[in-house]
Amino acid sequence: MKTKTTLAAVLMTVLFTSCTMKENPLLSESDNPFGAYAFDKIKVEDYKPAFEKAIGSAKADIAAIVECTDEPTFENTVEALEFAGRDLSRVSSIFYALNSACTSPEMQKVAEEISPAMTEYSMSIILNEKLFARIKAVYEKKESLNLTREQAKLLEDTFKSFSRNGANLDSAQKAEYARVSEELSLATLKFGQNSLAATNAFTLNLTDEADLEGLPDFVKEAAESEAVSRNEEGWTITLNAPSYGPFLKYSTRRDLREKIWKAYNSQAVGGEFDNCPLILKIAQLRTREANILGYPTYAAYALEERMAKNQETVNAFLSDLMEKSLPAAAAEVATIQKYAEEHGFSDKLQSWDFSYWANRYKEENYSISDELLKPYFLLDNVQAAIFDLAGRLYGLKFIQRDDIPVYHPDVRAFEVTDENGRFMALFYLDFFPRDNKRSGAWMTTFRDQSIRGGVEERPFVTVVTNFTKPTENTPSLLTFDEVTTILHEFGHALHGMLAEGSYPSLTGTSVARDFVELPSQIMENWAYEPEYLRTFAKHYQSGEVIPDELIEKIVAAKNFNAGYAQVRQLNFGTIDMAWHSSPTVPSDDPVAFEQQVFAPSALFPAVEGCVMTPSFTHIFSGGYAAGYYSYKWAEVLEADAFSLFKEKGIFNREVADSFRREILSRGSIEEEAVIYRNFRGRDPQPEALLEKLGLK
């Protein structure tokens, strides 16, 4: 039957065609300055079709390499593989970064839906026999190819990556490896979602002013602001660090400290967001994955490509530091116990007591506190100070750009140039907590630096934190710990911004896990340097420069409870290795297993049902599995490296230029041990860390 075509039908057809042909902002080239991504145009519904199209395009890139009839060369095989799937790299970088910083239930659903497709795509590359055959053909004639150092490293890394990820398996093993990898991807994704949900699920709402006893004004103001944002009366404490930490430190109400401490340390233990079964599943899948590839444990597999090389070295490293640090930590706890007793406390210190009594001891003996220091650390001044430090050391300039789209109103965007005006990076800062942002602080990239066909792409770098929000009466003022945190993450950002090279897998922060924290941790040292502090630490109301006596107190208190803090970090590394360095996965309940592992170094009595592993996102949904020791490993490197700045001058351009040239811009073009020796002229001296912490 022939139907009559009406004007309305024509208009509907045009409208439908227009909508379906609309370019996906995740896939189209941006006309923003520097090609900045169009965050203002991206909608949740754009992600899934963008992933589907980008995966198809990426597979076509791989097929073109595999089906090439020319003899395999470095250019048509290894280099072509490095740059395959450009659209997919862009889409996934944006999506996964925002899924941590600005997520939603809809985004989390997309993450679950696209996870199998992403795993399948990854497996279709790594288990592609024809592709590996071409790579192997190039690898076997590498000595005759006259490759540059960078090309040789890319070839070596590519060949190893295929070998270490199943390319040599038989067909049955490849099928099982793909299945395990997909299960693992979904399990780690779910772990992170549970952790965020569990953090948001608990709040402590206080309506009696007596419950606020001991809290400084800045804590009360933040709690009141939180309550208002939730349409609640009174004051609300959450499990986000800027809320939870100060409450434990200042509240005189031991019963409320206990309540919130137990809530924080039982996140994702039982209930709707229980991560305990996922811990066992993830550990089992990682062990099985390693076994399929021929390794006895996941740690043996993961550490092969890191500076430490094997689990025996890591376990010995952690054990040695623990042996040297535990007596100091026990003595520090005994000192705080005695102090508490002298001030009327008649019980044994519990975990929820230590922060409170340690802070009182510190205030009395060092005459220093967050309340005393915060007025000197206005966020805007601290931001300007880290930019100034990058200028003095590396000649960088930061220009705020309001014409660069951002993904949330809190985010600030900056153009970064060097002293010659060369564009170096776009830099995004996202400071404040949100319900849709995971806890902690981190740096990541939306785009890595690379050069292809003579055309360079400079990086898009972001730093995300959860700092104290401004209130109606007070701007955002940072604790001293938050000052060191932003310096730390800014160090990672510099590593990304100053990258120089051709291949994104070798530039910026694409280095061994136990090396990547060197550029970040070394930056924290400047927070304790009087010459630097005087440049920006000014009272937000009077403009008064921080007095010398306060600086002296900051420096004097630098190693307060250093043993305790060291043991805490070493315990995190120890439990990580315990989960990943045994040939058999513990069958125990994760709560019991953690308490068993921590028992030899426990400084306080264990509390039933309270552990940190079920919310340990670094190792169960991040990239630090069998790698949390890296923080301490890199701390040895940074303590040794910063001693050269101390010797030559903390703003010495000669040393800074060397650090930039040999480390920050170098990526992983060489073995990390070689890179460090090129900077320092020798291997690191482990005693530097104990000396820095006053534990030697």
β 412-417/397-400 pair status: antiparallel
**Strands laid side by side in the 397-400 sheet:** 397-400, 412-417, 423-430, 460-464, 442-447
CB 355 within 8 A of CB 608: no
| Residues in contact with 10: Cβ distance below 8 Å, sequence separation at least 6, in sequence order | none
Tokens, residue 382: 């601290």
Q: What angle do CA 583, 589, 591 make, to 5 degrees?
A: 110
Rg of the chain (C-alpha set) = 26
- Say how far apart CA 9 and CA 215 lie, in whole Å: 67
| Residues in contact with 547: Cβ distance below 8 Å, sequence separation at least 6, in sequence order | none
- Say how far apart CA 455 and CA 9 lie, in whole Å: 47
Q: Could you tell me the CA-to-CA distances from 277 to 184, 190, 194 in Å, in that order?
A: 13, 11, 12
Secondary structure class of 296 (helix, strand, coil): coil
606-630 residues labelled b (16+ CB within 10 A) or e (exposed): bbeebbbbbbbbbbbbbebbbbbbb
DSSP string, 105-168: HHHHHHHHHHHHHHHHHHHHHHT-HHHHHHHHHHHHTGGGS---HHHHHHHHHHHHHHHHTTTT
Helical spans, DSSP H, in 167-216:
171-201
Tokens, residue 665: 């811009």
- Say how far apart CA 451 and CA 502 lie, in whole Å: 4
Distance of CA 555 to the CA centre of its chain: 27
For CA atoms 295, 81, 462, 451, the dihedral sign is positive
H or E, element range at 46: helix 44-66
- Say how far apart CA 107 and CA 590 lie, in whole Å: 29
Of the candidates 224, 226, 489, 672, the residue annotated as catalytic is: 489
Q: Is 489 a known active-site residue?
A: yes
Tokens, residue 428: 């995004």
Tokens, residue 157: 């890394």
| Residues in contact with 567: Cβ distance below 8 Å, sequence separation at least 6, in sequence order | 322, 325, 326, 329, 601, 603
- Say how far apart CA 403 and CA 197 lie, in whole Å: 34
Nearest alpha-carbon partner for 431 in 376, 380, 500, 385: 380
Strand partners, 423: 417
Q: What angle do CA 240, 244, 250 make, to 5 degrees?
A: 155
Helical spans, DSSP H, in 343-474:
351-366, 370-373, 379-394
Instruction: Please identify every residue annotated as catalytic.
Output: 489
